[in-house]
Structure formats: C-alpha cells, structure tokens
Amino acid sequence: MATRREVAKLRVRCPNCDAGCSVQLEWARMDQHVQQSCDWHSLRCEQCKELILKKDMQRHTSSECRHRKETCDLCSQLVTHSEMETSHRNLQSDVCCPRFSARCPHCSERSTPMDRRGYVAHLSECPERPVECKYSHLGCRAMVRRSDLERHYKDSMDSHLELMDSKLKQAAALPSNSAAAVPQSSAGAAPPAPTAADGREVADVKRRVGSVFEQFKKLQVNVANWAHSTMELEQLADRFGGVSQLRTLLSGLDERTRSVEQLQQQVQQLQQQVQQLQQPRA
C-alpha cells in the first residue's frame, strides 16, 4: 500500500482545470495553490454576492459590479452603479439627483432640459404625455396623448354613451338583485322582515332611479342628434365659414355631456340609498 508520503507526492491536476487552470502539482501543495495563487478559482463578490473568477475580480469590482460605489459628478453623492442608472439620473424618480437635468421623454424634440422640479410641473401640461380618459371610471381603457383628448372624446362619444347606458342599467336593476344577496347573520338567522315604511322607501327610490334612467335615455338621444348636427355644421363651416354658429352648438353639446355626468352621479347616490335600505336593521 502507498504510504502517506507517497500519496502526498502524487502529481494531480488543479480542481479548477475545467474553468481553465492547467497547473499540475503535488497533491500536498494543491490546496495552497487553489487558495492563494489559482487565478481560475471562484470568489464571491462582497458587493453583489456573485461568484467571480479570481483573475477577473479586480475588473469586476472596479467596472462591472452593479453594486460598486460611484460618486455623482453633479451633486457629489455616493451611490451604487445600479442606483445611478435606475433612479439617481432619472427625472421620474423621487430620489433623482437635484442637479440632474434632461428633456421630457414624451416631448423630447420640443422641450428644453429641466430638473426634477421642473419636470414634475411640466408633466401636468405636457401635450404629448399619455393620460387616462375622463370616462375611465365607466370602463374606457384608452390612454391618449393630452393633445388628442378632445378628439378622443368626440370620436368615442358613442362608446362612452354605451358605457354610461350599461352603468345606468346596472344601477336600475340593483335594488331587486341586492335584496336576494343580503347575507345571513353569523348565527344563521334570517334578517328582520322589512316594515311597511321600508317598503315605501324602497319603492320611492326605485321610482326615482327609473325616472333618472328615462331622463338619461332621452338625453342620450338628444346628444346623438346634436353630434349628428355638429358633423353637418362642421361641413357647412368648412364651406361657408359658419364658425360662430358651430361654436355655439359645440358649447351646447358640451353642456349636455355634463348633464349626462350629473345624471350618473344622481344614479350612484340613489344606488347607495337603495343599498342602505336593503341592509337589515339592528
């Protein structure tokens, strides 16, 4: 049998040979080689915790590690490389460098460089910034440039009216549906039977909801007629210059649209009253 001394003198390949090390040493000296001098040995970066070859560690820590520290040349603040790229030099970040400036990403061709404070103020009026439609609460999911909002409202009038019509129908049908959905008490007992006064209040609210719904249907027809008239008048304005009359009719259409929104608010209030009346009384 080979003695310990003979085994220690056996020449073996470095365990990092698959990574690229070609060193062959006596077995007794190999551990020292791996720990102290093998450039192909993997070490863990103290900043990002990634495994890096020893020969690449200096380059990694100085120019590649995403957590290496850098000094901002504008404000002299010490931040990590990843923070520098994602937030410190980003106008949309709350921790943006106070001295950093850039153009608006939405209208970069026309805007001038601005700091974080100027950018926040600019966003409220940037014509190219995508914004939500004011009828998003009804279900419109369009994201439109601020400069195109008016055109969107005009082109999507029918779809907005359909969304509002659907909401009103749901509100009108809610009282009868919500009565069946009243939960049982924790003890399993049925809720108290409604009194005659409760029945009269519910009937009155139902009547008011129905009345508002009918008003909306009539107003919907009127708005559609106004929209059709507006299209015809736009053509007349192009041909005969009837701009003043066109402006008057457009103003009337806008007022009727606001009336539709007010009716929707009334329906929501009535809906809340119905829900309160349907709740079991203590």
Q: What is the pLDDT of residues 76-90, one digit of tens each?
A: 999 999 999 899 998
Phi then psi for residue 70, to 5 deg, are: -135, 150
Give the tens place of pLDDT for each residue, 97-145. 999 999 888 887 777 899 998 998 998 889 999 999 998 988 999 999 9
Is residue 73 a part of any domain in this protein?
yes
Query: Does residue 270 share a domain with residue 163?
Result: yes
Q: Where is average pLDDT lowest: 80-89, 144-153, 232-241, 267-276?
A: 232-241
Mean pLDDT over residues 216-231, rounded? Answer: 66
| pLDDT top residue among 52 and 186 | 52
Residue span of the structural domain in which 262 resides: 156-178+195-278
Does one domain contain both 101 and 207? no
Given a cut of 50, is residue 180 above it in pLDDT? no
For the chain, the domain total comes to 3
In a domain? residue 132: no
Co-location of 202 and 271 in the same domain? yes
Same domain, yes or no: 113 and 23: no
161 and 274 share one domain: yes
Average pLDDT over residues 273-277: 73
Within a domain: 18: yes
The answer to whether 43 touches 54, Cβ cutoff 8 Å, is yes
Of 23-37, 98-112, 116-130, 182-196, the least confident: 182-196
Does residue 106 sit in the same domain as residue 216?
no
pTM of the model: 0.41
Average pLDDT of the segment spanning 189-198: 56
218 in the same domain as 118: no
